């Protein structure tokens, strides 16, 4: 992988045009602001923290209602790794949304810092980091393509709801509460949620709780009972059964492994 240029936490004025890349070049952008992106004439309203992987044949213009557009970006070519790029079956010129972009943002920051460093192993580090980043885009469990349609007003709200679910696992989420958040009927909400994210809303709620529990178990000395309460479980036994079903080991064993 050959990085041509990169930036982290870059600020651009609204209306910035992303010029067409040369054949064989790509640009990956993590747009942190709510934005309106026009790709070859197709206009899409995107929530904050949306990823776009532009191909060499694409021209895009980005605008925002905020004071400026904030983004992380990498312009690169595959070099001798075109076969790897093809094997990953990445989607180009379409928005990609994650429930949690912290890992991706951290990777892009590391790449930017390494790119401008004078380290002796700089090129090897950059190649390794880029491989991790691209594989993450292709394989991450929480990664879902979002076919954003400007005629469908609910996509932005669904993204906001999913982020809120993952940030607030302690809340008593149920189908009625989630459907009311986006002002939909139960049946239509459940259908659209699964269509958008590839998973049921209840399964996503459980996933959010388990991911938070893993974080607490890894980083604190809280008891299993305390972790269960912090993740919205009414009793420790239910939490332990659900954790083992999803992770494969008990909370106590998981803590010993990390």
User: Among 125-139, 195-209, 221-235, which is the least confidently predicted range?
Assistant: 125-139
Q: Which residue has the higher pLDDT, 228 or 127?
A: 228
Average pLDDT of every residue of the chain: 82
Closest CA relative to residue 35, chosen from 17, 15, 6: 15
CB 20 within 8 A of CB 53: no
How much of the chain exceeds pLDDT 70, in percent? Answer: 87
Give the SS3 label for residue 223.
coil
What does the pLDDT look like over 235-246, one tens digit per residue? 999 999 999 998
User: Domain-by-domain residue ranges, the chain?
Assistant: 2-145, 155-257
What does the pLDDT look like over 85-120, one tens digit per residue? 888 878 788 777 665 577 788 889 999 998 888 777
Architecture in CATH of 2-145: Sandwich (2.60)
Instruction: Choose the CATH number for 155-257 among 1.10.10.60, 3.90.1150.10, 3.30.1490.20, 3.40.50.150.
Output: 1.10.10.60
């Amino acid at each position: 992988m050959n990085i041509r240029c990169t930036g982290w936490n870059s600020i651009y004025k609204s209306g910035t045009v992303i010029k067409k890349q040369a054949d064989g070049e790509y640009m990956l952008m993590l747009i942190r602001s709510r934005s309106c992106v026009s790709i070859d004439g197709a206009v899409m309203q995107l929530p904050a923290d949306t990823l776009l992987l532009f191909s060499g044949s694409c021209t895009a213009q980005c605008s925002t209602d905020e004071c400026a557009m904030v983004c992380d970006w990498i312009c690169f070519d595959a070099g001798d790794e075109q076969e790897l790029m093809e094997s990953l079956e990445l989607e180009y010129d379409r928005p990609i949304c994650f429930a949690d972009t912290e890992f991706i943002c951290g990777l892009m920051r590391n790449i930017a810092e390494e790119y401008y460093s004078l380290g002796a192993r700089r090129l090897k580090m950059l190649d390794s980091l880029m491989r991790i980043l691209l594989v993450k885009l292709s394989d991450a469990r929480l990664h879902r393509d979002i076919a954003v349609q400007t005629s469908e007003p609910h996509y932005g709200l669904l993204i906001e709801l999913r982020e809120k679910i993952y940030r607030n696992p302690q809340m008593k989420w149920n189908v009625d509460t989630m459907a009311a958040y986006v002002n939909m009927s139960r049946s239509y909400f459940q259908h659209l949620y699964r269509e958008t994210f590839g998973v049921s809303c209840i399964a996503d709620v459980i996933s959010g709780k388990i991911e938070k529990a893993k974080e607490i178990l890894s980083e604190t000395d809280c008891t299993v009972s305390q972790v269960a309460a912090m993740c919205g479980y009414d009793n420790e036994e239910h939490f332990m059964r659900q954790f083992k079903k999803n992770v494969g080991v008990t909370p106590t064993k998981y803590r010993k492994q990390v």
